[in-house]
Structure 1
Amino acid sequence: MDNKVYLITEQDVHAYIDGELTSDRRRAVENFLAERDLPLERAARYLRNNFDLRAVKDEIYKDTVLKAEIDRLLAKRRQRISANA
């Protein structure tokens, strides 16, 4: 990896936890977290919250009627965001 300085945001930490970063970006976040105790603790909280939210989502999505309504609302929101972009 190069010696560039990367600005690491909370979104990067979330993406890191979700496994959504490129390998270079993942290493930058890992280096950033390794240098700081507090963000690492915060990342651990995000990870716990992420697992908790996924468990709740999985439970909610067992109700197919509710899942269909959530999916409809999310699609409507995405369309609104796309229209404003």
Structure 2
Amino acid sequence: MNPSEAAAALREDMDDLAAWNSKPGMFTDLNEPVPVPGTTPTLKFPILDPRAAAPGPSGYAIDGFDYYASGGSGAPAGTATVQAR
């Protein structure tokens, strides 16, 4: 594979990934929230709850955790980051 063929293949992959959520036969959202019934229904995230970036009742978010819903700070949209200490 020459460089131009590799670039074309990469562009094709990126096009597929841009609409991943409309192709459930090819992709899945591993962190899709699950509704948990109860007095007050809640959502549980199997991997990482993006609400962890928002300050809770104590006024603090999880230290070192951030979530970029719209691709802020150069991160892809829907990306979570954790600072290593």
Q: Report the TM-score, using the length of structure 2 for normalisation.
A: 0.32
By relative contact order (CA 8 Å, sep 6+), the higher-ranking structure is 1
Q: Which has the higher helix share?
A: 1
Q: Report the TM-score, using the length of structure 1 for normalisation.
A: 0.32
